[in-house]
Structure 1
Amino acid sequence: MQRIALTPRSDWQARVGSVGMHYHSPGGEIYWDESACYCFTRSQIDLLDDVTHELHQLCLSAVDHIIRRNGFAKLHIPQWAVPYIIQSWEQQEPSLYGRFDLAWNGTGTPKLLEYNADTPTALLEASVVQWFWLQECFPQADQFNSIHEKLLSFWANYRHRHPALHFASMDGSDEDFGNVEYLRDTALQAGLQTWHLPIPQIGWDKRQQRFVDEQLQVISALFKLYPWEWLLQDEFSRYLPSANLTLLEPAWKLLLSSKGILPMLWELFPDHPNLLAASFGDQPLLGAYVRKPLYSREGANIEIRRGASVVETTGSYGAEGYIYQQYTPLTAFAGHYPVIGSWVIANQAAGIGIREDTSEITGNNSRFIPHYFVEDN
């Protein structure tokens, strides 16, 4: 794994904009950054593929364990939602996607930092944006990236269950809108009928006991780029169990979107080579550790403690409590710390996207760096 300095394409803004990425420079700051890229070998990519599959299977086992052992309280899930989550799991409601964030420098064993199981973003850039970059800049190389094809395959199967689907996100975020519109486009390509609406415009029809859109059309299936833990705090969430509404991601993914899944995975699979030791807030770890809120976004309220050294970020999260995770150092490449986001689409490893920062905490302003791979020497 190498970080290679590059000269960006002279018209890169137009290039990425042509495939739907209009949030490449939020606030004038570079987010899509092609002044560098990461190069892997095929064997390294094969390892990432295997690790992603393994972690996905561990997570599915953990969901089953939480449900069978009634472990919901540790994740601060309201009691009224428990039967709804159990039903979602038992009915095998499909999951579209998720993203494992991994610490790895190309040697040794990749380690799971966290799982973005519910509302992962950076999908458009990991899929078509870096693929078109590859075709122009490194046409003889390859890329760990079958995201687009696997999305199309998922929707082709999903349309037999739900031929029409609403897509919803919050207003005011170009990144959220771009990711949702990309997913909606893949659903359209697969033959589904789709509509987009803002989350606040989802209404409740008391007479029909159904959720409806702005035109009072019943919503039967909904993709929501809106966290489950926020949704359960909404007064209308109590109607979900009886609303005859299919959601992506399904309710059972809430069990994986909490960082509480990290100590649960460690309890179930102690000393697994791809996991880091983790515990709940009432069981602090010895040695260097990272403290994370049960629920948080974009690297907020993270604390890294190594003896007297403390690195932390601010934010509004942490009311539900914290978990502790063994600290593992990120390798600095020319002063930049990469985190590998490895995607799961329809239960299959599908490709990677890399975010990097000059800090070890990946946040909202961290940059996306493309990648390619070559055959082993």
Structure 2
Amino acid sequence: MERLASRPREDYKSRLESQGLSFHSWDNYWKEDVCYRFSLRQIEEIEAATEELHQMCLQALKIVINSERLGMLGIPELFWPAIAQSFASDDFSLYGRFDFAYDGKSPPKMLEYNADTPTSLLESAVCQWYWLEDCFPDFDQFNSLHERLVRRWKALPQRGTVHFASLAGNEEDWVCLTYLMDTLTQSGRTAARIDIEQIGWHSGKRVFVDQDGCPITQLFKLYPWEWMMREAFGKEILQGDTQFIEPLWKSVLSCKGLLPILWEIYPGHPNLLEAYFEPGRLQSYARKPLYSREGANVELVLDGVAIASDAGPYGGEGCIYQQLNPLPQFGGKYPVIGSWVVGGEAAGMCVREDCSPITTNMSNFIPHYFFQ
């Protein structure tokens, strides 16, 4: 694993915009004056860890449900039976992303599982692939995201229109959602766009409806389950017939409270970090809210002394304490490997790096390739 200088394409900005990545220049988000190079062995190690960890998370979810521990994860009791039913029914799931600490030498370490609403999908599936073809056509990339997403949509059991919803005015979410709509239509299905704020509830028909009053039978929502459960309309989720993507059971996998559960079930696993619900068991740790976004409210503590933190609005549901595993440094930057899962299978990866050991919303997206 190496961080290498790379010559940017002269017209890369217009190329990215033609591919749909409108916010490429925000805080220098997309960077192609550098890239990361991996060996085939390293890619295979990331791929294997991804698939094994996904299966381990499913097993942990089963144990959490059967032992009635959903409350430890900050999930409202009202939703416990529905989550259990969603998991037992194997409700359709599309994708997720593991975040790994990885230096190319030691095994990848799971930092968390963004199993509900991960973004950076267009840049991972499309933009870095075209970068590879333009800049390193003789090499390969761990990237079958697009093909797997299209194929996975074909397995969606119900027919009819799929509505896609995100917060109004959020450009990053809009870009991700637009790309996902494209993958759906390429699978032969029909997509409809709606702002999450426009979704209504028809009390007579007991169904969610769009801005035209049409029933929403299937809804892909780029809006976290932990927020939906606490909205005024949250209880209607349990009464209506709308099929949600991601499904309710993914709310458990996306909770960082799963990390201590995993360590309890698989102590000493090479891809896990020691983790607990209780403070005081680790001298060096990352304190993480059960639910947070882009590194907000994360604190890193080394030998009892805080060395980094990021402010934010999260943490009300509680925190977990995960063994501190400092990210590797390359050129003064701290990379995190994002390993994608589609339909339960490893599907590709991305690299985001930050000048801080906590990956925040100021992180940069860096393309990658690998050699045989």
Q: 2:175 & 2:281 partners in 1: Cα distance? A: 39
Helix, strand or coil at the partner of 1:102: strand
- Check conservation: 1:343, 1:352, Cα contact below 8 A: yes
Q: TM-score, normalised by structure 1?
A: 0.97
Kindly report which structure 2 residues correspond to 1:247-262, keeping only aligned pairs within 5 A, or say none. Answer: 247-262=244-259
Q: Which of 146, 158, 161 lines up with 1:161 in the alignment?
A: 158
Query: Match for residue 82 of structure 1?
Result: 80
Deviation per CA, 1:312-362: give whole Å up to 9, x if none.
110111111110000012111010110000000011100000000111100
- Check conservation: 2:351, 2:365, Cα contact below 8 A: yes
Query: Match for residue 143 of structure 1?
Result: 141
Displacement of 1:277: 0.2
Query: Match for residue 210 of structure 2?
Result: 213
Query: Match for residue 24 of structure 1?
Result: 24
| Number of residue pairs matched by the alignment | 371
Kindly report which structure 2 residues correspond to 1:1-377, keeping only aligned pairs within 5 A, or say none. Answer: 1-26=1-26, 29-158=27-156, 160-280=157-277, 282-307=278-303, 308-375=305-372
Instruction: Go from structure 1 to structure 2 and tell me whether the alpha carbon gap of 1:213 and 1:44 turns closer, same or farther (over 3 Å shift).
Output: same
Displacement of 1:285: 2.7
* Percent identical: 49
Displacement of 1:309: 4.4
Q: 1:301 & 1:286 partners in 2: Cα distance? A: 19
Q: 2:322 & 2:52 partners in 1: Cα distance? A: 20
AA matched with 1:14: S
Q: 2:280 & 2:59 partners in 1: Cα distance? A: 25
Displacement of 1:284: 2.9
AA matched with 1:157: A
Helix, strand or coil at the partner of 2:233: helix
Q: TM-score, normalised by structure 2?
A: 0.98
Deviation per CA, 1:253-299: give whole Å up to 9, x if none.
1111111011111111111110000001x343322111011111111
AA matched with 1:303: E
Helix, strand or coil at the partner of 1:177: helix
- Check conservation: 1:162, 1:221, Cα contact below 8 A: no
- Check conservation: 1:163, 1:192, Cα contact below 8 A: yes
Helix, strand or coil at the partner of 2:336: strand
Q: 2:211 & 2:322 partners in 1: Cα distance? A: 44
**Which contiguous aligned blocks of 4+ residues in structure 1 show a shift greater than 4 angstroms?**
none
- Check conservation: 2:181, 2:191, Cα contact below 8 A: yes
- Check conservation: 2:299, 2:306, Cα contact below 8 A: no
Q: 2:210 & 2:369 partners in 1: Cα distance? A: 42
- Check conservation: 1:126, 1:353, Cα contact below 8 A: yes
- Check conservation: 1:127, 1:146, Cα contact below 8 A: yes
Point out where structure 2 has 5 or more consecutive residues left out of the alignment: none
AA matched with 1:10: E
Q: 2:194 & 2:281 partners in 1: Cα distance? A: 44
Displacement of 1:94: 1.4
Displacement of 1:108: 1.6
Displacement of 1:206: 1.1
Displacement of 1:164: 1.7
Point out where structure 1 has 5 or more consecutive residues left out of the alignment: none
AA matched with 2:282: L
Q: 2:228 & 2:321 partners in 1: Cα distance? A: 25
Q: 1:259 & 1:141 partners in 2: Cα distance? A: 36
Helix, strand or coil at the partner of 1:157: coil
- Check conservation: 1:285, 1:326, Cα contact below 8 A: no
AA matched with 1:203: G
Deviation per CA, 1:136-191: give whole Å up to 9, x if none.
00000000000000001011121x42332000000121110000000000001111
Q: 2:230 & 2:103 partners in 1: Cα distance? A: 39
Deviation per CA, 1:94-114: give whole Å up to 9, x if none.
110110000001112110011
Q: 2:81 & 2:327 partners in 1: Cα distance? A: 40
AA matched with 1:352: M
Q: 2:114 & 2:12 partners in 1: Cα distance? A: 28
Helix, strand or coil at the partner of 1:353: strand
- Check conservation: 2:300, 2:324, Cα contact below 8 A: yes
Deviation per CA, 1:92-136: give whole Å up to 9, x if none.
101101100000011121100111011001111110010000000
Q: 2:220 & 2:261 partners in 1: Cα distance? A: 27
AA matched with 2:5: A
AA matched with 1:302: V
Deviates more, 1:85-94 or 1:145-154: 85-94
Q: 2:66 & 2:364 partners in 1: Cα distance? A: 40
